[in-house]
Each structure stands twice: as structure tokens, then as C-alpha cells.
Structure 1
Amino acid sequence: MKRRIFLVLGCLLLICEIVQPIATAEANPDQRAYHFGFKKSKNGQLPSINEEGFKSILEKHGAIFLGDTNQKDIYLTFDNGYENGYTAKILDILKERKVPSIFFVTGHYVKDQPELVQRMVSEGHIVGNHSWSHPDVTQISNDQLKNELVKVKTAVADLTSQKEMTFLRAPRGIFNESMLASSRTEGYTNVFWSVAYKDWDPATQRGSQYAYTQVMNQLHPGAVILLHSVSKDNTEAMAQMIDDARKQGYEFKSLTQMQKKTY
């Protein structure tokens, strides 16, 4: 009998250990982490996040996924976590073709490449916030998130004429409702994307034609294009991408010119 009682008590303790995290998660749905994903544009169809389960959360907190799908506008964005020797060439191409862009930078990048950050701003581009230390922002407190954002904003303001910073891209595209709400309170619009491909690994570059095809096959009105400046392929394909997109009637615009978000 005693043995049965101990077994029952043991099972009850085990059940309590299992149920508690589930109850906590249900009580705090804003802590649920998501990794941004989307259905790619194909054969002229628009991309979609309807299947991903976080559409309503992005809408609620004013996050950007794409622009007005009735306008043939393109918004070019780069993630700059570290420098791989290609950003200067990218800036040359953008300057020559008068294309505005936004570069999301980390604290490491600002400290390591101050001249390039200065050049981004002086040539009319926006510098966005990619966090100071590139953490999983769903695993830090709101105070820690604020500190991450303030440090980047302050460093860029001390270095350039850009004194305000209003666009944020979460590291690795990982987010939850809590960080969306907290960063919005700090004045940020979270920027995701509707065109992207695996370009962030310098060890797996497949040539400029591959980069060109991956991007051009996904073009659509209101596209927010995510590229990584560490990619040799992107750099070599950049000029042709821009020229051929314009031949198709697309116009490159700054995120500050985005008037409407369509999901």
C-alpha cells in the first residue's frame, strides 16, 4: 500500500512539472517566439504570410512585411552584422544608379566600420537598428532590449548626421509579441521582408547569376528585399538586378516613402 501511495505521489509531481510550463506559456502568449517565414512570390503571385500564424501580430504592432501591392515599388534592405569587404562596392553601385536603401547594423559593425557607416548616411541611405550584440531578442528582457537599441542609435548618432533611428530588424528574424510591442514603444517600426534567399553564408556562394535569378524570380509590387552585404554574389549581381528591375517598370524607394502596408 505504501509503495502505491509513493508511486501515485511521484506521478502527481511529474504531472505538475509537465503542466506548469504549458500553463505559463498559455498565460503569456506574447512570449511565444516566431521565426519569420513567408510563401515566396512565384510566377507573378504575391508572397504571403497567411500560413505562418503570426499575421495578426505583425499587423497589430505595425510591422512591415511589404508595401502597397498596387504599386511597382521596391524597398532595398541590407543586413550588416559584420563586414566582408563588399559594402563599399555596393554603395558605389547604389550611388551611381541613385538607389536609396537601408542598412541594418549591429554594434560590432558600427565600431569596426565607422567610415562605411558615415558613408551610408552621407550618401542618403538610412541606417537601421539590428541590435548591439545580435541576441535572440525573445530571450532577453524589455530593459535589455531597450539597452541594445539605445546603444546602436547613440553610436550612429555620435558618428553621423543621423540623429534618429526608427527602423528595426530583429536578429535572425526571431521575434515575439512582447519585443514587437516594446520596440514600438521605443519608436521603432519592425521591418521584415517579402523577397529573400539563402545569401548570408559566405562559404556557400553560387555565383552572381544564381543571386540574380533568386531575386528577380521573386520580384513583385511592394517588395521589401532582404540582402546580406557579406555576399560576393549579391555584390556582383547588384547592378544588373537594379537595371533589369527598372526595365520591368519598378521604382526603388526609401522605407520612409512607404505609404501603405498590405498583408
Structure 2
Amino acid sequence: MFAALFFFSFTYPVMAVSNQAIHWGLKKASNGQQAEAGPKLDKLLDEHGAFYKGSAKEKVLYLTFDNGYENGYTASILDTLKKEKVPAAFFVTGHYLESAPDLVKRMNKEGHIIGNHSWHHPDLTQVSDEKLKEELARVKKETAQLTKQKDMKYLRPPRGIFSERTLKMAKEEGYTHVMWSLAFVDWYTNNQKGWQYSYDNIMKQIHPGAILLLHTVSKDNAEALPKVIKDLKKQGYRFESLDDYRKKQKRISA
């Protein structure tokens, strides 16, 4: 008699990826100590290659801007960056690409990174997989048509809202989520408070490895930026690009 052979196949349940919306928030930096999002968010971002600050051991800063629409101050900001030889990343929407193409071209020409802020600026946790891909693809395609930047690596989610699902999908589409460790209320164009307001908010939150989020619609930011950069350089800080950050991370993980 032949012994009967039985083969058992075990199917392990696939854990669903959460689409619970996370509204980015953190404990603000003070006295040169880094801002903190907490262990749970740190772990989630790290799992998906996302980041919001650099090393606490280096006095390096990463300057980023969100560009939803043009309000007449981006050219001045670009002038400052060019004069001070500071790299930046500009996260643009579809509206910005269509309404301010010459400024987008200038950003690229002067060596800045253009990042994805989605086409219509929706809450990405509330759109379908197909719609999310379309939102990102349209920005990438239009940027490539306007400039010499044919690839797009960085994503800043509209309104700072994301989920495990959107982190995963963005990474699959070739994007790195870039959040921030320094920001303040600067986007109300009818409630600008003068350059000192912007300057003070930046300087009291500054810390090694800071990723600054500023909005280019702010007159306060445009007027404060020259003094901010000069004074931070005097404090021993230097400005690097997001690409520099990624190179460092690759060296660390190698």
C-alpha cells in the first residue's frame, strides 16, 4: 500500500492598508531643539521613506515653498535665493503651472527642485486610487513640458493630510513624501502682519535639520527672507537641497 500524501496550503490574511486620514502636526521646535512628531508618526514615515527633518547633528536647513497660486511675490523670493545662493524646493499645483509657467521655468532654470502638490489640491485620502495617480501624473507631465525637469521625486500632500494608503501609493509612483518641521500661519493674504512676524516665527523655531515650509503668497515671507537667510548663515547654518538630504540617507543606509 502506498501512503497517502497530503499537502496543505495555508493562506495568510493580507492586512488592509489603513486610509485613516492623518493631519500633520508636531511639537514645535524651541531653543534650537528639534521639532518632534512622536514615535508613532516617525515610524510610519520611516517605513515609507518619508521625512520631515534632517539630522540634529548638522546645522543644515532645507527651504521649501508651497505654491498653490501666484500672488506677486515669488519673483522676489527667487531673486533672494539667487543672490544668497540658496537652493529650494517649490511644491506646485496644476493651477500654478497653468497660471505662472514663466516662474516655474525660472525655478528650474535657477537650479531649484519642483515638487508635486497635486493638480487640484484635494485631500488625497478622499480620492480613489485612480484619481490619486491622475492628480500626481498631471503635475509631473505639465512640469516636464514646461521645464527640463523630466522626473519628479517629491510630494507634499495638500493640506498636510495623508494616510498609510497614500504614503504607500505615492512611494509606488516614485515619490517621497516631504513634510516639515517648521511652519506657521503665513498664508492669509488679507492678514499679513509685516516682515518681523515672519522673521520672528522662523527664528524662534529654527533648529538643526529643519525643513522649513513657507508659502510664496505671503508678502511677509518675501520681505523677511533676505534677513532670515543672512542671519541664519551668521549662526553657522547652511542651506542644502532635498536631493542632498536623500544622498545622505542613502550613504547612511548603505
Q: Same fold (TM over 0.5)?
A: yes
Aligned to 1:187: 174
Mark the runs of 5 or more structure 1 residues left unpaired by the alignment: 1-26
Cα distance between partner residues in 2 of 1:28 and 1:243: 49
Aligned to 1:237: 224
Cα distance between partner residues in 2 of 1:43 and 1:117: 36
Query: Does structure 1 residue 254 correspond to structure 2 residue 241?
Result: yes
Aligned residues: 235
Deviations 1:182-234 (A, max 9, x none): 00001100000001000111122111001001001111111100000000000
The aligned amino acid for 1:141 is S
User: SS of the residue aligned with 1:31?
Assistant: coil
Deviations 1:9-44 (A, max 9, x none): xxxxxxxxxxxxxxxxxx856111010001111112
Deviations 1:60-83 (A, max 9, x none): 101111011111100000000000
Match of 2:103 among 110, 116, 119: 116
Query: Does structure 1 residue 147 correspond to structure 2 residue 154?
Result: no
Aligned to 2:83: 96
TM normalised by structure 1 equals 0.87
Q: Is the 8 A contact 1:68 1:260 kept in 2?
A: no
Deviations 1:144-197 (A, max 9, x none): 111111100000000100000000000000000000000000110000000100
The aligned amino acid for 1:48 is E
Cα distance between partner residues in 1 of 2:84 and 2:41: 36
Mark the runs of 5 or more structure 2 residues left unpaired by the alignment: 1-14
The aligned amino acid for 1:149 is L
Match of 2:25 among 25, 37, 44: 37
Cα distance between partner residues in 1 of 2:32 and 2:58: 14
Q: Percent identity?
A: 53
Deviations 1:81-124 (A, max 9, x none): 00000000000010011100000000000000000000000000
Cα distance between partner residues in 2 of 1:165 and 1:195: 23
Cα distance between partner residues in 1 of 2:118 and 2:32: 34
Aligned to 1:157: 144
The aligned amino acid for 2:79 is D
Q: How does 1:51-130 map to 2 (within 5 A)?
A: 53-130=40-117
Match of 2:212 among 209, 225, 230: 225
TM normalised by structure 2 equals 0.90
